[in-house]
Structure 1
Amino acid sequence: MSRHSNTPVALQVLHYATPIVVFLYSTLAKTAASCFLHKPTKKTDAQTRRYAATTILLLVNATLVAQAIAYFIESLAHPGYWATQDCVVYVLGSVFAYGSLTLGLLEARHPVWHPLLGSCLAGAALEIPTTVLQAVTQANGNDFAFSRLALQVSRCILLVCFCASGGWYTLNERLQNRQKGDETEPLLSATANGHATKTNYATVPGSPEDHDGGDSTDEESDTDEPDQVKELKKQQRKRLRQTGSWLGYLKEFKIFIPMLWPSKDRFVQACLVVIGIVLVAERFLNVLIPRQLGIITDELTKGNGNGEFPLRAVGIWMLLSWLGSRAGVYTLQSLAELPVQQFAYKSIGATSFSHIMGLSMDFHNEKNSGELIRAISQGQNLQGLLEFVCFQIGPVFVDLAIAFIYVYLLFDIYMSFILAFVGIAYIWVGAKTTAWSVKRRRRFNTAYRNESKIQNEAINNWQTVSHFNRGKYECDRYSGSIDAFNKAEMKYYIAYFMGGGAQSLIMVLGRLAATFLAIYRVSQGAAPVGNFVALTAYWRSIESPMAQVSWSIRKVTSMLTDSERLLQLFQTKPSVTDAPNAVPLSIKSGEVEFDEVDFSYDVRKSTLKAVSFTAKPGKTVALVGETGGGKSTILKLLYRYYDVSGGSIRVDGQDIRGVTLDSLRDSFGMVPQDPALFNISIMENVRYARLDATDDEVKEACRAAAIHDKIEAFPDGYKATVGERGVKLSGGELQRVSIARAILRGPHIVLLDEATSMIDAETEATIQEAFKRLTASRTTFIIAHRLSTIQHADLILVINDGQVVERGTHDELFRQNGKYVALWSKQLSKEVKDIGNTLHVDGKAAALIDLAQQEESTSDSKKD
């Protein structure tokens, strides 16, 4: 029998509390260190401190192992004796707690010290009163009692030495840092020195260093990742440094909460309630099914051979088994999850698309369309984040907590201890083997991509290979890539299978230990046979949540990484937005005034300089000049794709920065130089300008643009699709469809940017008539390089290097004989060279040709 049956309650409490407090403090402190990115020590004497601390912890563990051996030897020396439950839990639990501290210290080349120091302080604070009570209650004990007491005293001394040396190192470090004006690490708290945000970014997964041990160069492992993934992780680390903690980093993801939570959709909310009810039911079923099987076993055992059939118990078990199967509540959960997933998918996708469409031109000029589409696609993985965290990760930890309590009720605390040890060891091995295999997986993927690359390049460039007779070289190169692939694949799968095998071994050993203990308890009469059957059936419910823990953490990390692009996209704000007090634009006559407008795309180089002019109502303003002078920029500023750097633009006296963007852009009709169409029918493309237009109005606009007959000649007429961006149409046809759009729109202000640059002269004459109808009584801006198309303009502005160098009508500018005349002379000279001497020109044109030839002769003489 036990010699410690009269152990004081206080000592029993200390025995149970000591390992639990040490382990919990260590776990929570390490979690806080990771969340708040605490900086490890990297001083010259850091390794000496690490070796000394490791030695002390190994000695602490040695005292615990020796104490367990002493209990075992005493049980052999005194038959019928066994240590009380609190003593066994105290020794085994302490070995587990201090062993985990030692293992973590052995792995970490640059540890964060305050979790270790705090854990040992907590351990010493509990070990000392435990030792005192042990000495008082066992003052008259035997040699075994005195040996155990000596071991406890030794353990207390070791822990005190660890705390004293750790405190001295920490205080000395703080003193040195204070002298340098750079305090870094707190003694026990993350914020004790007021520098919680000046932390180590090495504790985060994927960062350069990892104080938790293992390979401290994650960036090296990143070298085998695609550039986009490496860039994402680099940006993630940067934002972690800026926020100072994982909590601060995750706060930025609150932008997704309104997209994930169906605050206004009652049906989806009802589906969430159904899922919650099902999850609660599943937690009960996980326990009730094996428990009911145990009840059936007990009833069969009691009535063995008497012909009684436990109908009620079997009926309940069959009902519970049906509910717990995939044909039961699982089906209901799957049906309820579908609307939740679709809601989140639509919400994220639609919000992302709306945000992108609302960004300004500076963003869209720099965008990578494929990258944006990929950002939305990967960001939509967050649709499962709410469901995953609430409905998968949460229940996993609930299952583990229920398992500890249930196995304790079935048998005793030893069974819970076995389960705890198996669970923590399983998760730890899974995390380590995953980190080990991930690097090999990256190399495996790189080798696979390299093999495909060599294969595709050689096949696609067969002609080049043949030209240089390099067939054997390419075959050898491809064979070498296969060898590299096989080697990388072998290393990866060895790591993968070894890790899986190690986890399976832990689970098997745990099951064997639990089964052995259960059989022993049943054989001793401490538990009925039904409890053994229930445990055996329940163990499968324990394995699943354990296997999901490490996978769940990786899944969440993957979701956050995938959504990093989308988060950055949402953090990008449009540079041009409505002012807080913006009002709709009211157009009365259509007068446009540029008043000392300055603008630059890049602050280092000015694009427009003090541009001033007034476009009178119903008049036409032409912008001419060499390419890159700033003509198109003027139209972009009028559209308010950008805001001016200086001066102002007014429409009927209203500064366009003070009106709403929608009302401003609704007032314009644009014919761009390079029109693009949607891959839909011609009818729909033209109607895009005015969505409520009838078919007859669309056709009338096409007649005015001299494209109607051409469309009617197509096999499908107006129903013909135009291809992506209108590739099925010629350049001239594209421009005429674009002109038809502008005509159909019927705008207040017309903007023509090289609207006839790809149209032949005969068609242009027809379109010019359409333009006359379109621009009648409308303020019009025309950009043209073919100067013959703008002779009729009421005001011609010659733009050179961002400035208006000349202004006036066609005749006025000719009389000035300046830049405008030089542009005409160059253009006419080119046309004359193209058509030779067959062109009949009037006197003015001939004079211009002579002038152009003189300029060319002068230029040639200078070159000579």
Structure 2
Amino acid sequence: MRPHHHPPSTSSSVPHAFAAGDWRAIHGLMPYLLAFKGRVFFALSCLVLAKVANVGVPLLRKEIIDRLEPGKGALMVPVALVLAYGALRFSTTLFNELRDGVFAKVTQRAIRSIALSVFQHLHALNLRFHLERHTGGLSRDIERGTRGIESLLRFTLFSIFPTLVEMAMVAGILAWKYDLWFALITLVTLGVYIALTVVITEWRTHFRRRMNELDSKANARAIDSLINYETVKYFGNEAWEAQRYDQNLARWEEAAVKSQTSLALLNGIQSLVIGVGAVALMLRATAGVSAGRLTVGDLVLINALLLQLYMPLNFLGVVYREIKQSLADMDRLFRLLTVETEIRDCPDARPLQVGAGVVRFEAVDFAYDERRAILHQVDFEIPAGHKVAVVGSSGAGKSTLSRLLFRFYDVQQGRILIDGQDIRQVTQQSLRAAIGIVPQDTVLFNDTIYANIAYGQPDAAREEVLRCAQAAVSGKLAALYFPE
């Protein structure tokens, strides 16, 4: 069983708005967004215009109510205001849709570019990294990370930032049209609401991160078991595998229950804060109407602004949690890009010049673990055109020789030469392109037989691929598959 490497935890017992990993994720994302500065600026402009129109809707509704009184021209003025009211409502939707449409390319291109960068980087990493990581857990980290990019951009641009813009506008309107008490009550309510939401959500975050870790473990356990399906069947260990998988799921279930119950607590506290703030504002507004300082339209306006502002705040806890989770997922993704490969081309590496094809191992020492040497002072030569069989017990280093020749690892002592060229002085791409191999384990990609045969040279002509296929079969099989 291969060892499973776990990245260091990013959780903390101390509440904090943004951890180092969060800033690392944001910093990693910024270059991909700045590649579309024009689109980002236009999307933000549409966002602000949509909020201006949205706040203007209750203002016009107030004017319509206040002007609905008997008298000359009483019909024409409300009609004009109603038309303006409809135009503002349409403008809100129009600018929101423009924002979504313009920013869609930014989001999807960022996801595409980052996913490609991670994919290329993983292929550039050395074999040791892949042997020490479960493919299932790694694929889940990549999947969650790319999904986290979309979630972060959606919640930040389409939820948090619009709410902040609207909060500033509403507070300004209340202070300008009425008095500072309305604005003060609103800001205090929002401040308490946001502070409690951040603190409680931060406390809840470690439950969610624990869920993710256990989810990755369970997924890795399942994929590892299914990949080794035949081995499981050989030993009749289906029940044992199911038990191990269920143990991982049970730990995930415990963390999920804690996460859900803490969410219920958060929602209850949020509702209490919003309710107290709304009651305080409405009491002051109704007192103003009773005293004649405010009109019925003013009461409707204040109530509408409250509803308009508090409705998105009802989801602030969820949004904040999703943003934090997206940042955590993105951090795991971007940390993959920081993993250094052990095998690099030297600065002056040149393409391998293949001549006769003489392979020589000179006094080679190698160990996967420094505590146990695999090869010691290995020295031999394979002349051009010759065949060499390497015989030995399991673990003696037979497969290691081919891995060193392909430069999946570097030797600790000595050197490996091809036609007199040290393979550490040539490019890895040219080295591997010059060597043909039939692996001891038959590996097939989930693709057509044709694609698997052509994999060694994807740009090969169809006739070449068919000749290879015909050469691989004989007799009745050849007549069956290639009747012509």
| TM-score, reference length from structure 2 | 0.78
Q: Distance in 2 between matches of 1:282 and 1:256?
A: 29
| Paired position in structure 1 for 2:429 | 662
Deviation at 1:403, TM superposition (A): 2.1
> Which residue identity does 2:140 align to in structure 1?
R
| Paired position in structure 2 for 1:348 | 114
> Which residue identity does 1:256 align to in structure 2?
G
| Paired position in structure 2 for 1:296 | 64
Q: Distance in 2 between matches of 1:294 and 1:572?
A: 59
| Paired position in structure 2 for 1:256 | 28
Identity rate, percent: 30
| Paired position in structure 2 for 1:333 | 99
| Paired position in structure 2 for 1:361 | 127
Distance 1:623 1:258, change over 3 A: farther
> Which residue identity does 1:692 align to in structure 2?
D
Q: Distance in 2 between matches of 1:598 and 1:608?
A: 5
| Paired position in structure 2 for 1:702 | 469
Match of 2:342, SS state, is: coil
Alpha carbons 2:24, 2:331 under 8 Å: kept: no
Answer yes or no: is 1:406 the counterpart of 2:177.
no
Q: Distance in 2 between matches of 1:409 and 1:621?
A: 90
Q: Distance in 2 between matches of 1:371 and 1:708?
A: 45
Q: Distance in 1 between matches of 2:478 and 2:192?
A: 74
**Number of residue equivalences:** 434
> Which residue identity does 1:235 align to in structure 2?
S
Distance 1:257 1:656, change over 3 A: same
Deviation at 1:279, TM superposition (A): 0.5
Answer yes or no: is 1:688 the counterpart of 2:455.
yes
Corresponding residue to 1:642 among 399, 409, 416: 409
| Paired position in structure 2 for 1:424 | 191
For 1:806-848, what per-residue CA distance to the aligned partner results, in whole angstroms no more than 9, with x for missing partners?
A: xxxxxxxxxxxxxxxxxxxxxxxxxxxxxxxxxxxxxxxxxxx
Unmatched 5+ residue regions in structure 1?
Answer: 1-227, 446-484, 719-864
Q: Which has the higher contact order (CA 8 A, sep 6+)?
A: 2
Deviation at 1:566, TM superposition (A): 1.9
Answer yes or no: is 1:280 the counterpart of 2:280.
no
For 1:143-186, what per-residue CA distance to the aligned partner results, in whole angstroms no more than 9, with x for missing partners?
A: xxxxxxxxxxxxxxxxxxxxxxxxxxxxxxxxxxxxxxxxxxxx
Q: 1:140-151 residue pairs with structure 2 within 5 A?
A: none
Deviation at 1:432, TM superposition (A): 6.5
> Which residue identity does 2:130 align to in structure 1?
H
Answer yes or no: is 1:538 the counterpart of 2:331.
no
Deviation at 1:601, TM superposition (A): 0.7
| Paired position in structure 2 for 1:376 | 142
Match of 1:594, SS state, is: strand
Alpha carbons 1:585, 1:659 under 8 Å: kept: yes
| TM-score, reference length from structure 1 | 0.46
Q: Distance in 1 between matches of 2:153 and 2:397?
A: 50
Q: Distance in 1 between matches of 2:444 and 2:294?
A: 79
Deviation at 1:306, TM superposition (A): 6.3
Q: Distance in 2 between matches of 1:695 and 1:574?
A: 36
Match of 2:9, SS state, is: helix
Match of 2:184, SS state, is: helix
> Which residue identity does 1:643 align to in structure 2?
D
Unmatched 5+ residue regions in structure 2?
Answer: 213-252
Match of 2:437, SS state, is: strand
Distance 1:712 1:504, change over 3 A: farther
Distance 1:589 1:247, change over 3 A: same
Match of 2:347, SS state, is: coil
Deviation at 1:708, TM superposition (A): 7.6
Q: Which structure has the bigger radius of gyration?
A: 1
Q: Distance in 2 between matches of 1:580 and 1:399?
A: 54
Distance 1:680 1:437, change over 3 A: closer
Deviation at 1:533, TM superposition (A): 2.9
Distance 1:707 1:379, change over 3 A: farther
Match of 2:85, SS state, is: helix
Deviation at 1:584, TM superposition (A): 0.9
Q: Distance in 2 between matches of 1:540 and 1:315?
A: 23
Answer yes or no: is 1:318 the counterpart of 2:318.
no
Q: 1:42-191 residue pairs with structure 2 within 5 A?
A: none
Alpha carbons 2:21, 2:327 under 8 Å: kept: no
RMSD of the alignment, in Å?
3.6
Match of 2:389, SS state, is: strand
Distance 1:360 1:531, change over 3 A: same
Q: Distance in 1 between matches of 2:210 and 2:360?
A: 62
For 1:603-655, what per-residue CA distance to the aligned partner results, in whole angstroms no more than 9, with x for missing partners?
A: 11111111122222333333233332222211211111110101111222221
Q: Distance in 1 between matches of 2:445 and 2:471?
A: 21
Q: Distance in 1 between matches of 2:265 and 2:175?
A: 32
| Paired position in structure 2 for 1:109 | none
Distance 1:502 1:374, change over 3 A: closer
Match of 1:610, SS state, is: strand
Corresponding residue to 2:10 among 217, 228, 236: 236
Match of 1:598, SS state, is: strand
Alpha carbons 1:396, 1:548 under 8 Å: kept: no
Q: Distance in 2 between matches of 1:304 and 1:537?
A: 27
| Paired position in structure 2 for 1:555 | 322
| Paired position in structure 1 for 2:344 | 577
Match of 1:637, SS state, is: helix
For 1:511-564, what per-residue CA distance to the aligned partner results, in whole angstroms no more than 9, with x for missing partners?
A: 232123223334445445543332222222210343344333212221122234
Alpha carbons 2:362, 2:380 under 8 Å: kept: yes
Judge which range, 536-545 or 386-395, deviates more. 386-395
Q: 1:434-445 residue pairs with structure 2 within 5 A?
A: none
Distance 1:365 1:712, change over 3 A: farther
For 1:482-520, what per-residue CA distance to the aligned partner results, in whole angstroms no more than 9, with x for missing partners?
A: xxx9xx98x998876665344334323322321232233
Distance 1:347 1:603, change over 3 A: same
Q: Distance in 2 between matches of 1:260 and 1:412?
A: 45
